[in-house]
Amino acid sequence: MEKIDLSAYLSGNEYPGRGICIGVTPDGKQALIGYFIMGRSANSRNRVFAPIEGGIETRAADPTKLEDPHLIIYNPVLTLGDEHIVTNGDQTNTIYDAIQQGGSFESGLRTRTFEDDGPNWTPRISGIVNAHSGAYKLSILKSADGNGDSVQRYFFEYGQPVAGEGHFISTYKCNGSPIPSFEGEPLRVAMPDSVTAFAQMLWASLNEDNKVSLFVRCIDLESGRAGDILYNKYSEVE
């Protein structure tokens, strides 16, 4: 698979929806995780990322304008030991609980399906990274070409990550009505040499009208220590 310029890809895509990018810096010393959310409706745009222990949660920027929380309020990122989990929905907790109970990333996701928002049937995208090896996995749970009665579960494992490379997956292929789901394998992308450059590139590449929030995490593969960067387009109303 050809390695793409993620900045160019995102800049030319009005609405990929939610996206996850995971990879390793060119020096092989750090794993990087990026997760962004976008929104077309007022309810989807009414969100911010806020830090919690080991990760982040989504909150309503203005609680008085929150309409339906069940698909927009969740924990996108949680950490369990050496495992860093990132998803676009409450399956973050499903994966966390499955691993804690002796299961796996895959076994947790096999209990879930795509979101109940027909006719879009938004896919559930998920990733997990080991803080010492840098090995990571990605998954997408999607409908069969818009068929709300059929779920397809895909898993992608990168057990020996290549320095300077990563993979990107999003909920949607592009804007539309209904919105077409992402197709094929995660895209192979070039990774920058620093978490700051990664965060700035992602945020600047997202459509200005539709972007909402961005989370980026840098994991030192020798020590396992992690640091985060958050971007929110909208301010939280107290």
pLDDT tens digits, one per residue of 89-113: 999 999 999 999 999 999 999 999 9
Q: Is 1 exposed, middle or buried (0-12, 13-18, 19+ CB in 10 A)?
A: exposed
- Per-10-residue mean pLDDT, the chain, length 238: 92 98 98 98 96 97 93 96 98 98 98 97 98 97 94 98 98 96 97 97 98 98 97 90
- pTM above 0.85? yes
pLDDT of residue 238: 67
The span from the CA of 169 to the CA of 123, in Å, is 11
Name the phi and psi angles at 237, rounded to 5: -95, 120
Mean pLDDT of the chain: 96
